[in-house]
Structure 1
Amino acid sequence: MQDIVPVQRSKKKYELYCSFHACPCCVTCITDKHQKCQEMKPLSDIIKKVKSSASVQLFEKDLKDVKENLEEIIKYLNRRVNTSTIQKTKAAEQVRSMRRSIDDFLDKLEQEILDDLDSKQSKLKSKMNTLLQQLKTQANKMSQLQREFSKMTQYATELQMYVGLREIEKTTSEAAKYLEDLKSGGPLDEVNLELTISSELQSILKDVKSFGDININTGPFTLQLKAVRKDQAQHLLHNTPTIEQIKPSFLKQLTISKDMKKKNIYACRILPDGKYLILESNYIHTRSNLLLFSNDGMFMREVVKFTGHSTDTCFVRTNTVAVALEKKYQIALVDVEKKKILQTINISHYCESVASDGQILVVSSKEKSTIVNLNDMSQTILEGVVADHVALFKGNIYGTDYNENKVCCYTSTGEPLWTFMHDDIYGPQGITLDKNGFVYVVSWNNNRVVVVSPDGKTCKTILSEADGIKSPLAIDIHRESGIMIVSSEITVEYDNREYETAFVYKI
């Protein structure tokens, strides 16, 4: 259970509530950590009339009753534990009494075979230790040569280097021949100790089915407890909303300068600190840019440029994002703060979309997908996961299929869990999930943002062309704050041309 957050700390009162970070704030907090946050509300509105509500007295009674019930059950269980301990002690003594009549005879047989085992293993161990010592001597000789070689490369003259290399070559060849002789001569052959139990002893195990029987006899629970309401938490605890309750409210539009308005947005992400990351790509000119915007939607800087068409990006961990370099069959790991590519990962297929939970990367394409383990960079192919865009949530993989007009959910090993199709979803592209597991999909061909229920059975259109959504391609949700970003085309009145931007909403 989480500790109750105090309303006052270090003599500074909490006066505001940050919906983006879901925490109360004081004046110092706003200055230090929440300068860019837009969702600030008076804390008094959040906690209004909590103490005077009728629920407080009911909760107090419920707490008292539940505590007394727990105390009574604890006493009851302690009595039962003591009783079962006495019963166990009595039964165990009966077992030991029977066991002692068998142990003496078995101990004698056991000691004899253990002595024989020890003798033979000691001889085998002695031979292997001798061989190990020889190998360590050879290894030490190689280590010494390595050190000498390092010194030669730094300090030796050309003549000394030539003579030294000849000597190293000779010694290395001798060591290699020694290893070949070991492999072919038998000392490295696998030698195993094997035990054959006597058939007479095995017959005991075969014929004797059990030492006895332990039976647990149960009776009804007769302790009387106080009645407690079952729905006492409904008034104050957050309930998972229904799909009908999801209604996004518009917050802002990213401010894109005039010279950037012709850029095509293929991905937009909300970073943990609330900043926005845009991947713009020009398919014809085969170049891509990763762009960073501030919390208030203003352009900050270009992060990095790519040659070739890039189709997706996702946050990985600690200032690092992954970028899908589609036809290069590569994923680039980029440090947003240092503005440089840290590493590229080669994939065996097109890299159309990428998602991460900090431990793995899921890279999708129209033919198959790949899971990359970020700890050891090992790769696992998922033949059955075919998706234009992917997302991760609680170990499951979610994907959209543009040509088939469907949304799919898979396990982490690629087994399908559900597939959803609906007339509202036509040409699905970007996909993301909120903290409750609702799946958000941008439907490119009919200008919609559609929410699919966590079980993949129902859906609801939450944004459409009437809300200004046109040809949406990318979407992302900051799960803690409920902030959502969606890419869209817009028409600028002064030149009557269409450009791409991104809208930000609160869900």
Structure 2
Amino acid sequence: MASSVKQLCTICHDDGISKSAVTWCTECEVFFCGDCEKPHSKSRLSKNHKTISAEDYQKLPTFMQEISSQCRDHKKKFELYCSFHACPCCVQCVTDKHKKCQDMKPLSDILQQVKSFASFQLFEKDLQDVKENFDTAIKYLKTRISTINTQKTKAVEKILYSRKTIDDYLNKLEQDILNDLESKHSKLKLNMATLVQQMEQQVSQINQMQSQFTKMTQHATELQMYIGLKEIEKTTSQMAKYLEDLESGDHFLEKNLEVNISSALQSILQDVISFGDININTTSSTLQIKAGRIDQAQQLVPKYTRIENLKPSLLTRLKIPKDKKSLNIFACLILPDGKFILLDYNKRQVLLFSNDGIFIRKVVTFKDYTCDACFVRNNTVAVALGLENKTAMVDIEKNKIIQTINLSHNCYGVVSDDKTLIISSGGGQCTTVNLNDMSHTMVEGMGGVYHISLFKEISMVPFTVKTKSAVIIALENLCGHFSTETLPAQ
């Protein structure tokens, strides 16, 4: 955004006078009022300097207004350009910071390429392509938001439908067992009520006979009494036999009603601990954006120095303690704070060394063989555990394993860019792990890849490493970047 502050003439301001500037010299980097601009434009040293109006200068973005043609450290004009570090340099910079840089170019040659119309067109197209890619990505994400909103609605409907289906089914089962209870209760009650009625008829007959027996004893003749007693004896015997038959049968067994709830139904309370699961399944993105130019980074200047031009020099030698001379080193890491991590395959341990190569401590020891390691973030190192199909996350400060990632393939190589963890199997598969939500994505077709590296945070470069017991030496090349080499153990 352009600045809205009115600029004052630099020359007059130095003399304590406030006059509005009318021009800006791009080489002197000074504002001039109308009076001061005249001698500047006539001077033999500055008459060919390019100037722009102060009004046009105000239209420049703030970050461009702050760009100077002079080195802030040495207050000298930029004259050279370091291709490796992609920055302009003054003569003093070359002596102080770029002694080892091989590819220095005249800054004027670089600026000449910037001035070409073709470059402006390419970068204008790049900006347009990036904007279109952002617009496309935003539209895609908004579509995805709409999609997951629809998915949520359908999921709610599915949950409610499942609940209703279960409720309806349980209601049916409940009604069935209530009907069965009513049926069996009615049948049992009817049987006993019928028996009671029959027995009450027998009791009524006995009551009648008892009444007749009293009258017989009072008024009957001896013959009538004899025959009557015989009849009473016969009837009494029949009723006794009827009662004995009832008792010997199942008529007097206590038939109780009881309910047994289905064990499968009861197990719901113990076995069913959730209504279901909500999963986030990751699939390949359908977003299509325009690819940037392959040579975009090198459009104006070459950015990378060829490997044959790099001249490494010894930086630090790690001092291995005498009791650890038999190390079988499978990885050496340089942490952000300059400390070193060694991965010992034989004893399955992670070792920490100081910036100057002095052994500090053993961090952790594993039960499984350690095959590779990489720095992740926040004092965390990932260690690949080979045939165990595991990769462990180790906190270097706390000396403990804070998380174990279980995979479906071997873990021989591991690399991270602070957002993603990539683990190779050596047998054709790699898995990427999102470090934010720990979701996994399988990558097929990586045959023979044991150890991997990240290039520009996106590309995986496979290579095979054979290691022996060795002492790791950290090297610094001429441009200040680190690499490693192995030397036989001593």
**TM-score, normalization by structure 2:** 0.40
Q: Which is strand-richer, 1 or 2? A: 1
Larger RCO, structure (CA 8 Å, separation 6 or more): 1
Q: Which is helix-richer, 1 or 2? A: 2
**TM-score, normalization by structure 1:** 0.39
